[in-house]
């Protein structure tokens, strides 16, 4: 189904969100030929051109389309049609769901799923025997809810050739029973997970296209008009551009291409070719994706000091040295590409900042817009370096709470002092850091919700829906609603290299807009996640409209 044609609009009686300024209410905004042509007080609204639709917001908020600067659309879309587990599912619940999925899909010779949570199992993770009891013969591969660990059965271990003697690839961890030495069925980080996952064929082209359509429909309903595909591996670029050619692409897509720590400079030719080959009005590569470490929950995040509950480890970087990453970053900079780095632990963040600083010393442009995504734990000494080096902090506010893993996994792993420094935001902003916001969908912890409004609420309150006052996580890092709206629009537009044309309500910019059902500034913070888009425009084209509006 192709997008409708662009049309002219006059929005009346709106609460206009203006970046860095108080909202204008009542305000009006005129859209002509896909761009913002005028905005101002409602009483001064111009006469709409012939054929324009007049849309009365009755005081509700009109703002730039939301932008998500780090997520995984095709991975998430695939997860929607596989065995779905929930973070609070214990061993019995997981076993029931896997058994039911296997019974409902008797033609499948390999079973995939996702969503289990670390907090529902011991720190060593779930066991293969639980899966063996319900699916003894078919390989089963189940991703954790953060995508950084897999739970597999014995058949999957055999498929991957994994035994007690298997040496894990660099950056990966194979769980072993301390008494027997046998694999437990837990694989941490993708270098280890791929030992099994590489034997599972990807969904077919048509299946992935349909998954992309499901994602786009959900994105439009959430008011998203631009995204960053954080791992634009093949065949993702071709899928995006197929949807664009067919008139079905309802968001502007930026993407990053993987830069592998184990490969040399030859991969730069692939990166350059991909950037040149995949560029169209709605799709483009803007960075190289780098994995520096793992996650706290798996003891694979790289920390400055050892884990409180595992004094034998502080995690490891996936790159051999700062110099190695710096040289690759400098080579990328010479072809105009920044790095987009997964760094969770404080040592990983410092390693990345050191590499970027060294690359700049080699003569690369300091304005390339390197990004560190996640940055769960940033040492206070490193916080000023983001602004000084021009590094964007790409954060996921939906995580800024005590999730189901916090008490059982995160707090014991980090200890109270470090856990009390998780997810800095206000302090980074005070230091002048450019911040972008994203969801990392579908890897979102307890609440898998593509809507930026859920993330905005969590960042303001520092607790999730259903958590009472008093359960806040590091409330000193909380910020206010106008700030969060700016970070989810103009902040993310800057990270997506689209701030010149989108991200704020300004005359001449593209009419990528979202109209809500209420005035966010008059809504209790507890209820922000209940607000919903009633209209989403991409360049003046309505890509979502609530029935009856």
Alpha-carbon distance values, 175 to 98, 127, 152, 164, 372 (Å)? 21, 10, 11, 9, 28
Mean pLDDT of 160-170: 96
Mean pLDDT of 146-168: 97
Question: Alpha-carbon distance 215 to 450, whole Å?
Answer: 9
Regarding whether 138 and 38 lie in a shared domain, the answer is no
**Structure confidence by residue, pLDDT tens digits, 291-304:** 999 999 999 999 99
CATH assignment of the domain containing 22: 2.30.40.10
Regarding whether 123 and 34 lie in a shared domain, the answer is no
Regarding whether 33 and 148 lie in a shared domain, the answer is no
Count of beta carbons in the 10 Å neighbourhood of residue 67: 33
User: Exposed e or buried b for every residue in 381-400, given b needs 16+ CB within 10 A?
Assistant: ebbebbbebbbbbbbbbbbb
Q: Please state the φ and ψ torsions of residue 37, each to the nearest 5 degrees.
A: -100, -25
Asked if 63 contacts 513 with a C-beta cutoff of 8 angstroms, the reply is: yes
Mean pLDDT of 351-376: 97
Q: Are strands 24-32 and 35-41 parallel, antiparallel or unpaired?
A: antiparallel
Question: Alpha-carbon distance 177 to 511, whole Å?
Answer: 57
Regarding whether 190 and 83 lie in a shared domain, the answer is yes
Asked if 503 contacts 497 with a C-beta cutoff of 8 angstroms, the reply is: no
Mean pLDDT of 145-155: 95
Regarding whether 58 and 39 lie in a shared domain, the answer is yes
Cα angle vertex 216, ends 212, 218, to 5°?
120
pLDDT recorded at residue 4: 80
The owner of tokens 């609070």 is: 88
Terminal C-alpha separation, the chain? 21
- Say how many domains are in the chain: 2
Position 224 in a domain? no
Per-residue pLDDT band for 518 (boundaries 50, 70, 90) equals very high
Polymer length of the chain: 549
Strand partners, 172: none
Regarding whether 109 and 187 lie in a shared domain, the answer is yes
Q: Does residue 32 have a pLDDT over 70?
A: yes
Q: Which residues have C-beta within 8 Å of that of residue 204, sequence separation ≥ 6?
A: none
Regarding whether 101 and 39 lie in a shared domain, the answer is no
Position 220 in a domain? no
**Quick check: helix, strand or coil at residue 51?**
coil
Position 498 in a domain? no
Radius of gyration of the chain (CA): 23
Q: Does residue 48 have a pLDDT over 90?
A: yes
Q: Which two tokens stand for residue 393?
A: 């902090």
Q: Which two tokens stand for residue 478?
A: 């909380």
Position 161 in a domain? yes
pLDDT recorded at residue 77: 86
Q: Which two tokens stand for residue 428?
A: 């980074």
Regarding whether 38 and 82 lie in a shared domain, the answer is no
Q: Please state the φ and ψ torsions of residue 493, each to the nearest 5 degrees.
A: -60, -40
If phi over 0 gives left and psi between -120 and 50 gives alpha, with beta otherwise, what is residue 33?
Answer: left
Regarding whether 123 and 47 lie in a shared domain, the answer is no
Mean pLDDT of 175-180: 96
Per-residue pLDDT band for 209 (boundaries 50, 70, 90) equals very high
Q: Which two tokens stand for residue 153?
A: 């059965």
Regarding whether 179 and 81 lie in a shared domain, the answer is yes
pLDDT recorded at residue 279: 94
Among 164, 197, 230, the domain-final residue is 197
Q: Which two tokens stand for residue 394?
A: 């790409």
**Quick check: helix, strand or coil at residue 545?**
strand
Q: Does residue 445 have a pLDDT over 80?
A: no
Q: Does residue 226 have a pLDDT over 70?
A: yes
Regarding whether 95 and 51 lie in a shared domain, the answer is no
Strand partners, 378: none
CA 195 to chain centre: 25
pLDDT recorded at residue 256: 97
**Quick check: helix, strand or coil at residue 418?**
helix
Position 160 in a domain? yes
Position 226 in a domain? no
Q: Does residue 69 have a pLDDT over 90?
A: yes
Among 158, 175, 197, the domain-final residue is 197
Q: Does residue 446 have a pLDDT over 80?
A: no
Position 369 in a domain? no
Position 95 in a domain? yes
Question: Alpha-carbon distance 134 to 197, whole Å?
Answer: 20
Regarding whether 165 and 83 lie in a shared domain, the answer is yes
E strands present in 97-202: 111-116, 140-144, 149-152, 173-176, 183-188
Question: Alpha-carbon distance 229 to 216, whole Å?
Answer: 13
**Structure confidence by residue, pLDDT tens digits, 1-18:** 577 888 999 999 999 999
Domain that residue 47 falls in? 9-65+506-545
Q: Does residue 440 have a pLDDT over 90?
A: yes
Q: Does residue 367 have a pLDDT over 70?
A: yes
pLDDT recorded at residue 266: 84
CA 4 to chain centre: 28
CA 229 to chain centre: 8
Per-residue pLDDT band for 203 (boundaries 50, 70, 90) equals confident
Q: Does residue 492 have a pLDDT over 70?
A: yes
CATH assignment of the domain containing 151: 3.10.310.70
Among 167, 197, 227, the domain-final residue is 197
């Amino acid at each position: 189904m192709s997008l409708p044609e662009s049309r002219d609009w006059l929005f009346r009686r709106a609460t206009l969100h203006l970046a860095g300024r108080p909202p204008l209410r009542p305000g009006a905004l005129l859209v002509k030929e896909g761009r913002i042509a005028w905005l101002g007080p409602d009483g001064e609204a111009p006469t709409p051109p012939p054929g324009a639709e007049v849309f009365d917001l009755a005081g509700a908020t009109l703002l730039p389309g939301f932008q998500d600067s780090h997520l995984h659309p095709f991975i998430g879309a695939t997860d929607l049609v596989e065995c779905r587990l929930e973070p609070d599912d214990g061993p019995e619940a997981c076993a029931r769901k896997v058994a039911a999925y296997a019974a409902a899909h008797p033609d499948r010779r390999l079973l995939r799923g996702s969503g289990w949570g670390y907090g529902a199992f011991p720190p060593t993770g779930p066991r293969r025997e639980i899966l063996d009891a319900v699916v003894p013969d078919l390989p089963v591969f189940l991703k954790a809810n953060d995508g950084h660990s897999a739970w597999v059965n014995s058949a999957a271990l055999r498929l991957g050739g994994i035994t007690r003697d298997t040496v894990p690839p660099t950056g990966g961890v194979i769980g072993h029973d301390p008494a027997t030495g046998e694999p437990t069925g837990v694989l941490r980080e993708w270098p280890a997970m791929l030992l099994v996952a590489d034997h599972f064929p990807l969904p077919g082209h048509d299946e992935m296209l349909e998954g992309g359509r499901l994602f786009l429909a959900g994105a439009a309903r959430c008011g998203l008009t631009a995204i960053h595909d954080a791992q634009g591996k093949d065949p993702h670029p071709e899928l995006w551009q197929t949807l664009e050619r067919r008139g079905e692409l309802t968001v502007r897509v930026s993407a990053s291409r993987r830069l592998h720590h184990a490969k040399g400079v030859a991969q730069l030719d692939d990166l350059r070719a991909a950037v040149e080959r995949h560029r169209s009005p709605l799709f483009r590569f803007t960075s190289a994706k780098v994995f520096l470490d793992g996650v706290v929950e798996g003891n694979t995040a790289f920390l400055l000091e050892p884990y409180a509950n595992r004094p034998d480890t502080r995690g490891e970087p996936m790159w051999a040295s700062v110099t190695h990453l710096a040289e690759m970053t400098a080579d990328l900079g010479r072809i105009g590409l920044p790095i987009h780095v997964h760094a969770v632990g404080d040592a990983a963040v410092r390693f990345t900042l050191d590499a970027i600083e060294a690359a700049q010393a080699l003569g690369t442009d300091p304005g390339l817009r390197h990004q560190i995504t996640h940055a769960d734990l940033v040492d206070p000494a490193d916080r000023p370096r983001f602004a000084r080096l021009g590094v964007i902090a790409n954060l996921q506010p939906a995580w800024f709470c005590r999730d189901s893993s916090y008490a059982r996994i995160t707090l014991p792993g980090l200890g109270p002092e470090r856990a009390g420094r998780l997810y800095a935001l206000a302090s980074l902003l005070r230091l002048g850091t450019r911040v972008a916001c994203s969801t990392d969908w579908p890897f979102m912890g307890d609440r898998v919700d593509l809507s930026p409004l859920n993330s905005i609420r969590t960042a303001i309150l520092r607790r999730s829906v259903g958590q009472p006052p008093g359960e806040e996580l590091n409330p000193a890092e909380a910020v206010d609603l106008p700030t969060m709206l700016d970070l989810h629009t103009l902040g993310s537009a800057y990270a997506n290299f689209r701030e010149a044309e989108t991200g704020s309500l300004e005359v001449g910019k593209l009419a990528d807009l979202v109209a809500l059902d209420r005035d966010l500034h008059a809504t209790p913070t507890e209820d922000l996640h209940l607000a919903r888009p009633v209209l989403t425009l991409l360049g003046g084209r309505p890509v979502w409209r609530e029935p009856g509006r």
